[in-house]
């Protein structure tokens, strides 16, 4: 059922008092669970749960000709699919604009942070390079698929290994993974999305909160040496944002990122 | 030359380790996971709910709609996301396998959607999908005569084997591999899915059907336990 | 009286004396489950109590629904069921303004109503009756409709207990939507937690007592 006027108003009342529907503080995340290696046929894979929200992500690799404008680099192709299995609101068919936008935000965070060392994906300049296919699927939508997707993407990439590649036959031997990991850097992007509900901003909304939100700002950040850098941003939705509001959110995001990053890194690496 | 020992060491009538869990998608009205070894299927059911557009409605009964698909990274060589001719066909045979057991006469003009996703594939994905879907439908409280259980039978060279895995499916020596996915209704013992790919003589096909019936009993046991395990 | 979880196609009991009730059919001498749920044998009657699945409206049920459309003669209401419900103007108490339906109940508003009739294409609702009408303020939570009997308890014992301890007004719709209104946000969150406590324990015996203990402990 879609959200009612009554519940929407109540959510506003709560937020004015600094409370959430499920008792959390405005910027508290639900519990995050990360499981890696969930699909044996993927070169890397992960399941991320944030509360009742669940997504899975998988990495597949392929060899192809590099793009002419970057002949010594590999490529990344990211996709997000909102499976109709995961919510009564999702329909079968080609990806919705929401899924496409989500994939674009995930993709930009990874690309702009330099998390993947694309040069090391080159096999022979101008002729052969690895392409990283990153696919993310929703399993249960209980709000905040955006941040969950970005997190699952990073976790899947971090556990990815190259399959064997027969240079002479120019064939990837799928199913036999090597010890060689995907070339990643220390700059792991994590995306935090702030949702504006009435006059308040919150993190990690449940479905009801997400449905009563008119605008959101996604911010992907990563560590570059000693600094934390903002790599990708997107304001989505029809409502505008004031300048000082935006700046305050960016500042909050920076602080939150610094808290959350070591935790996430630990969750991914624990296996 | 003959296939005297299975590639993964199983007995000829031995299934891979099965796993079934009910209620894995909280959003859905019913949901389940079913695995044969490394083949993992999840299914979610939504409905009965009103069907739009109206011209698709059936005033005599509700409609069962199935949608089977594989995640891109569920197979060794990445599958391009989106439906294929194969997934369309499997969706249809899945719907047929489930149609006789569900009773949607109480719900005219509605639809029950069954969504099946293959998380990890190592052959027999349609069978795992049907097993998960049957559980999800029961979990959704849909009126059902009985449960359907599915398994794939193979003829590898000249031997009948139960629950074919990928390696066996690709077996090329001798007579190669024949794949026979089947489904049996648990109570009435009727056959709800029957497909065959390869080459087999009639007498041996009879043996295969017998093997399928025996194996489906084992599948049913796992399904039964999973549904009763709900707390 | 005995109760056991059964799955479709399972034989519940054999014998000519037994009568098949809801979700049960007879096959020869056997009574067989036609849906998943809790089989209950009470005297000669064998029936299945659903544990899961969507809400199926029954005549006389009190339901909570959301206005999704306004027509010239009433409101379309989503009651979380396989069919849309309709509330005709003639089923409203007299003081309703017939010329501006939106003033009474606009799209997105919540109402508590009674199921009047069930037809093949939908459900008719009425607001004639005590306590029925538009819901003001408060909040709505959703539970599985099959758990509603547990939330209400024997003769309302459970829900009265929760109302008393949480100091909230609560209306439980048979369709699983529950309206809560408290003096403070804390009270509302508390009553929601109490309801979740009940719905997460569908198989526990003596649940009212256990809920009472829980409420008293949490209240401290």
Which domain, by its residues, includes A80? 5-269
The pLDDT of residue A155: 97
Query: Between residues B164 and A271, which one has the greater pLDDT?
Result: B164
Number of residues in chain A: 271
Pairwise CB contact (< 8 Å): A5 & C109? yes
pLDDT at C208 over 70: yes
Q: Is residue C55 part of a domain?
A: no
C57–chain B Cβ distance below 8 A for any pair: no
Q: Is residue B205 part of a domain?
A: yes
Q: Locate A120 and state its tokens.
A: 């090391």
Q: What is the pLDDT of residues A161-215, one digit of tens each?
A: 999 999 888 889 988 899 999 999 999 999 999 999 998 999 999 999 999 998 9
Q: Is residue B72 part of a domain?
A: yes
Pairwise CB contact (< 8 Å): B59 & C120? yes
Pairwise CB contact (< 8 Å): C109 & A17? no
* A residues 138-197 lying closer than 8 A (beta carbon) to B: 139-142, 172, 174-175
The pLDDT of residue B224: 97
Q: Domain total for chain A?
A: 1
- The number of C-beta contacts closer than 8 angstroms across A and C is 42
The three-point CA angle C26-C27-C30 to 5° equals 75
Whether residues C128 and C83 share a domain: the answer is yes
B88–chain A Cβ distance below 8 A for any pair: no
Which domain, by its residues, includes B116? 18-228
- Residues in C closer than 8 angstroms to A13, CB to CB, are 185
Q: Is residue C38 part of a domain?
A: yes
Helix ranges, chain C (H): 101-104, 148-152, 157-166, 185-199, 207-219
Pairwise CB contact (< 8 Å): C110 & A4? yes
The pLDDT of residue C102: 63
**Minimal Cα distance from C187: which residue of A?**
A23
Number of residues in chain C: 220
A87–chain B Cβ distance below 8 A for any pair: yes
The pLDDT of residue C186: 87
Pairwise CB contact (< 8 Å): C9 & B48? no
Pairwise CB contact (< 8 Å): A135 & B120? no
- Nearest Cβ partner of A41 from B44, B73, B81? B73
The pLDDT of residue C101: 63
Whether residues C149 and C100 share a domain: the answer is no
B145–chain C Cβ distance below 8 A for any pair: yes
**Minimal Cα distance from C6: which residue of B?**
B228
Name, in order, each residue with C-beta under 8 angstroms of A163's C-beta and a sequence gap of 6 or more: A43, A61, A172, A173, A174, A175, A176, A177, A178
A236 strand-pairing partners: A216
Residue B53, domain CATH: 3.30.230.70
- Residues in C closer than 8 angstroms to B47, CB to CB, are 54, 82
Pairwise CB contact (< 8 Å): C189 & A2? no
Whether residues C156 and C123 share a domain: the answer is no
Q: Is residue B181 part of a domain?
A: yes
Whether residues C175 and C203 share a domain: the answer is yes
Q: Quick one: pLDDT band at residue A269, thresholds 50, 70, 90?
A: confident
- Residues in A closer than 8 angstroms to B120, CB to CB, are 38-41
Q: Quick one: pLDDT band at residue A271, thresholds 50, 70, 90?
A: low
| pTM of the shown model | 0.91
Residue C74, domain CATH: 2.40.50.140
**Minimal Cα distance from C145: which residue of B?**
B29
pLDDT at C99 over 70: no
Q: Is residue C57 part of a domain?
A: no
**DSSP for residue A182:** P
DSSP, residue by residue, A62-111: EEEPPPTT-TT--EEEEEEE--GGG-TT--SSSPPHHHHHHHHHHHHHHH
- Residues in A closer than 8 angstroms to B118, CB to CB, are none
Q: What is the pLDDT of residues B11-60, one digit of tens each?
A: 999 999 999 999 999 999 999 999 999 999 999 999 999 888 888 889 89
- Give percent helix, percent strand, percent coil of chain B, each to the nearest 5: 30, 30, 40
C43–chain A Cβ distance below 8 A for any pair: no
Q: Domain total for chain B?
A: 1
Which domain, by its residues, includes C30? 2-50
C140–chain A Cβ distance below 8 A for any pair: yes
Q: Locate A253 and state its tokens.
A: 């995001």
Identify which of B226, B219, B209, B228 has the alpha carbon closest to the alpha carbon of residue B186. Answer: B219
Pairwise CB contact (< 8 Å): A52 & B26? yes
The pLDDT of residue A169: 87
Query: What's the mean pLDDT in C75-83?
Result: 93
User: Dihedrals φ, ψ of B94, to 5°?
Assistant: -65, -45
Query: What's the mean pLDDT in B77-95?
Result: 92
The three-state DSSP-derived secondary structure of B90-137 is HHHHHHHHHHCCECCCCCCCEEEEEEEEEEECCCCHHHHHHHHHHHHH
Pairwise CB contact (< 8 Å): A174 & B120? no
Q: Is residue B9 part of a domain?
A: no
Residue A243, domain CATH: 3.30.230.70
pLDDT at C95 over 90: no
Q: Domain total for chain C?
A: 3
Query: What's the mean pLDDT in B141-156?
Result: 97
- Residues in B closer than 8 angstroms to C84, CB to CB, are 50
Could you report the predicted ipTM of this complex, rounded to two decimals? 0.92
Domain boundary among C134, C169, C184: C134
Domain boundary among C134, C149, C175: C134
* C residues 52-91 lying closer than 8 A (beta carbon) to A: 66, 68, 78, 80
Pairwise CB contact (< 8 Å): B82 & A142? no
Pairwise CB contact (< 8 Å): A60 & B78? yes
Q: What is the pLDDT of residues B25-35, one digit of tens each?
A: 999 999 999 99
Q: What is the pLDDT of residues C159-205, one digit of tens each?
A: 999 999 899 999 999 999 999 999 988 898 899 999 999 998 867 77
* A residues 216-245 lying closer than 8 A (beta carbon) to B: none
Whether residues C100 and C162 share a domain: the answer is no
């Amino acid at each position: 059922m879609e959200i009612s006027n009554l519940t929407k108003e109540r959510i506003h009342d709560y937020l004015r008092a600094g409370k959430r529907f499920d008792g959390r503080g405005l910027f508290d995340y639900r519990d995050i669970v990360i499981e890696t290696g969930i699909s044996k046929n993927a070169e890397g894979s992960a399941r991320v749960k944030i509360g009742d929200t669940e997504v899975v992500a998988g990495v597949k690799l392929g060899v192809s000709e590099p793009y002419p404008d970057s002949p010594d680099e590999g490529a990344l192709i990211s996709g997000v699919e909102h499976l109709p299995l995961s919510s009564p609101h999702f329909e079968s068919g080609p990806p919705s604009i929401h899924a496409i936008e989500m994939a674009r935000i995930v993709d930009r965070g990874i690309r702009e942070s330099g998390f993947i060392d694309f040069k090391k994906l080159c096999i022979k300049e101008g002729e052969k390079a690895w392409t990283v296919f990153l696919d993310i699927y929703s399993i249960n939508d209980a709000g905040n698929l955006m941040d969950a997707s970005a997190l699952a993407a990073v976790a899947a990439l971090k556990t990815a290994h190259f399959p064997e590649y027969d240079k002479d036959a120019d064939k990837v031997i799928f199913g036999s993974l090597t010890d060689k990991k995907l070339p990643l850097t220390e700059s792991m992007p994590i995306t935090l999305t702030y949702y504006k509900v009435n006059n308040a901003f919150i993190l990690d909304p449940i479905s009801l909160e997400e449905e009563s939100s008119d605008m959101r700002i996604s911010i992907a950040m990563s560590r570059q040496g000693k600094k934390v850098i903002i790599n990708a941003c997107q304001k989505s939705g029809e409502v505008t944002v004031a300048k000082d509001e935006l700046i305050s959110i960016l500042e909050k995001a920076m602080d939150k990122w610094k808290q959350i990053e070591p935790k996430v890194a630990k969750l991914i690496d624990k296996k | 030359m003959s296939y005297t020992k299975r590639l993964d060491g199983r007995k000829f009538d031995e299934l891979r380790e099965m796993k079934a869990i009910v209620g894995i998608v909280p959003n859905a009205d019913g949901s389940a996971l079913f695995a044969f070894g490394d083949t993992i299927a999840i299914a979610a059911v939504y409905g009965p709910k009103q069907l739009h557009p109206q011209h698709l409605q059936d005033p005599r009964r509700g409609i069962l709609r199935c949608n089977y698909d594989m995640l891109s990274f569920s197979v060794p060589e990445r599958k391009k996301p989106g439906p294929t001719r194969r997934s369309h066909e499997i969706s249809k045979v899945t719907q047929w396998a489930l149609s006789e057991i569900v009773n949607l006469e109480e719900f005219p003009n509605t639809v029950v959607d069954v969504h099946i996703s293959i998380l990890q594939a190592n052959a027999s994905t349609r069978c795992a999908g049907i097993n998960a879907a049957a559980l999800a439908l029961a979990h959704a409280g849909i009126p059902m005569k009985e449960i359907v259980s599915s398994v794939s039978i193979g003829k590898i060279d000249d031997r009948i084997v139960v629950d074919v895995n990928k390696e066996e499916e690709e077996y090329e020596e001798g007579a190669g591999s024949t794949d026979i996915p089947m489904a049996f209704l648990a109570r009435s013992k009727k056959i709800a899915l029957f497909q065959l790919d390869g080459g087999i003589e009639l007498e041996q096909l009879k043996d295969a059907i017998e093997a399928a019936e025996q194996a489906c009993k084992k599948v049913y046991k796992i399904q039964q336990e999973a549904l009763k395990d709900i707390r | 009286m005995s109760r056991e979880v059964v799955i479709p196609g399972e034989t519940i009991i054999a014998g000519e004396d037994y009568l098949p009730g809801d979700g049960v059919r007879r096959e020869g001498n056997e009574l067989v489950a036609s849906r998943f749920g809790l089989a209950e044998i009470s005297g000669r009657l064998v029936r299945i109590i659903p544990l899961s699945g969507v809400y199926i409206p029954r005549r006389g049920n009190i339901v909570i629904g959301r206005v999704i459309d306004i027509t010239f003669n009433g409101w379309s209401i989503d009651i979380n069921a396989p069919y849309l419900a309709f509330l005709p103007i003639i089923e409203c108490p007299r003081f309703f303004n017939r010329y501006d339906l939106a003033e009474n109940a606009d799209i997105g508003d919540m109402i508590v109503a009674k199921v009047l009739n069930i037809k093949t294409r939908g459900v008719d609702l009425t607001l004639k009756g005590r306590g029925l009408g538009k819901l003001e303020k408060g909040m709505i939570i959703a539970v599985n409709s099959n758990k509603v009997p547990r939330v209400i308890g024997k003769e309302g014992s459970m829900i009265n207990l929760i109302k008393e301890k949480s100091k909230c007004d609560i209306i439980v719709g048979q369709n699983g939507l529950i309206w809560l209104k408290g003096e403070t946000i804390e009270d509302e969150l508390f009553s929601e937690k109490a309801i979740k406590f009940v719905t997460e324990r569908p198989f526990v015996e003596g649940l009212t007592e256990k809920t009472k203990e829980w409420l008293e402990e949490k209240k401290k």
